[in-house]
């Protein structure tokens, strides 16, 4: 992990323990880190899972790729260094949300394994779940809800993941969500079931 630029800074711990916070809020926080190709279904699944969690009385929140690039990360592009910094910042935000006992669903391509592993490394043990949202690239290209594959094939988008930039598949994800096979609802429910199996929520 890199060192902070400043030296005269000190970490302040909370007076309440994580357990006391969880007891008061009534749930544990977690990071469900959805990763996968563009149009694999990350946003769709994350938003439906968020809705299903809220309907069941859980606090859940989606951090979504494009939206973050309008604000927090508006200074970043798609070069390898910027993609890494994009994920680093989102990882820090997701960690804070989870610390506040929110079930945080992130929907970012996050193509580099090392970047995803870095986020895993900063989150407490047992609270980070890598969810590989998987669909064959032909299926993603066929869906192409934002017309991005079409533009990438026409050479209008440089460094497009899966076409002119790499995607490093998760080696051992906690969740494998095959959106080419299940419906949107089935895929979203899979996340809730897996969170229940891991003791984050009860169904
Ligand atoms: P991403 O966030 O990965 O770029 P999106 O969620 O924006 O992908 O787009 C996925 C597209 O695929 C949407 O148009 C969605 O309706 C469609 N789709 C079809 N089946 C599924 C499924 N099982 N899960 C998720 N999305 C699906």
Where do the domains of the chain lie? Answer: 21-197
- The answer to whether the CB of 190 is under 6 A from ligand 1 is no
Q: Is 110 labeled as catalytic in the residue annotation?
A: yes
Of 110, 118, 164, 202, the active-site residue reads 110
Range 37-53 average pLDDT: 98
Range 31-53 average pLDDT: 98
Architecture of 21-197 per CATH?
3-Layer(aba) Sandwich (3.40)
- Helix or strand run (H / E) with residue 104: strand 103-107
Encode pLDDT of 74-128 as tens digits.
999 989 999 999 999 999 999 999 999 999 999 999 999 999 999 999 999 999 9
| Residue 120 exposed, middle or buried by CB count within 10 Å (0-12, 13-18, 19+) | middle
- The answer to whether the CB of 39 is under 6 A from ligand 1 is yes
Encode pLDDT of 90-99 as tens digits.
999 999 999 9
Q: Is the separation of the CB atoms in 198 and 174 below 8 Å?
A: yes
Q: What is the pTM of this model?
A: 0.95
In this structure, the residue with its CA closest to atom 10 of ligand 1 is: 41
pLDDT value at 19 more than 60: yes
């Amino acid at each position: 992990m890199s060192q902070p630029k400043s030296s005269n800074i000190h970490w302040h711990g909370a007076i309440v323990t994580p357990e006391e916070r969880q007891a008061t809020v009534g749930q544990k926080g977690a990071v469900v880190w959805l990763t996968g190709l563009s149009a694999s279904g990350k946003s769709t699944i994350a938003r439906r899972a968020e809705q299903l969690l809220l309907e069941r009385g859980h606090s859940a929140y989606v951090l979504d790729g494009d939206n973050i690039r309008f604000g927090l990360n508006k200074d970043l592009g798609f070069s390898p260094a910027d993609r890494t910094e994009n994920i680093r910042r989102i990882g820090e935000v997701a960690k804070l949300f989870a610390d506040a006992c929110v079930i945080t669903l992130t929907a970012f391509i996050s193509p580099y394994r090392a970047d995803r592993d870095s986020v895993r490394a900063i989150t407490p043990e047992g609270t980070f779940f890598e969810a590989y949202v998987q669909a064959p690239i032909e299926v993603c290209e066929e869906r192409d809800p934002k017309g991005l594959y079409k533009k990438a094939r026409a050479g209008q988008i440089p460094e497009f993941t899966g076409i002119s930039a790499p995607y490093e598949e998760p080696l051992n994800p906690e969740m494998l969500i095959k959106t080419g096979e299940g419906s949107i609802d089935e895929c979203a429910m899979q996340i809730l079931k897996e969170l229940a199996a891991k003791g984050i929520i009860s169904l």
